[in-house]
Amino acid sequence: MKKLIISIFGAAVLFTSGAASTEASSINTVVNNMTGIPYKWGGTTLAGFDCSGFMRYIFQKYSIELPRTSQQQAKAGTPVSKANLRTGDMVFFNTSGSGISHTGVYIGGGQFAHASSSKGVSITKMSNPYFSDRYVTARRVTGQFMYNKMLGKI
């Protein structure tokens, strides 16, 4: 009986750790699978995205509803400093010279994913001079549970 319990426990540990590793960094997997989808002004579907439509699409996968525009999205959740960014935080930029006009999602490693008007869905370094000079703020719209889900831990 003791061997059976140990075997079942061992199988459970192996099964759950295997499940976590196959989905590790799930937001990165989602983003990588969408890279190259074209930019479309007002776009909210796989046929094409604008930046805020892309954010809504990504976060809906984690049951998080966001407002439609980047300006409205920049008021959602709670502020987070650039030094404390974590995967799943939204980052905002002033690319038009008149306030927040672009958004993306921080995916770790100093990078964010966004719908670029020139490249479509793409991954860019936060240190990219264009975006670094135009960075405004970041917001955290995920709690611990959704954060873990975005990382593929659950």
| Annotation marks residue 83 as catalytic | no
Residue whose C-alpha is closest to residue 113's, from 124, 100, 126: 124
User: Per 3-state DSSP, what percentage of the chain is helix, strand, and coil (rounded to 5)?
Assistant: 40, 25, 40
Annotated active-site residue in 56, 102, 139, 149: 102
Annotated active-site residue in 58, 106, 114, 142: 114
Annotated active-site residue in 31, 51, 107, 150: 51
CB 123 within 8 A of CB 113: yes
| Annotation marks residue 51 as catalytic | yes
| Annotation marks residue 114 as catalytic | yes
CA distances to 49, 62, 89, 132 from 56, rounded to whole Å, are: 10, 10, 13, 23
* Cα–Cα distance measured from residue 126 to residue 124, given in angstroms and rounded to the nearest whole number: 6
Q: Tell me which residues are annotated as active site.
A: 51, 102, 114
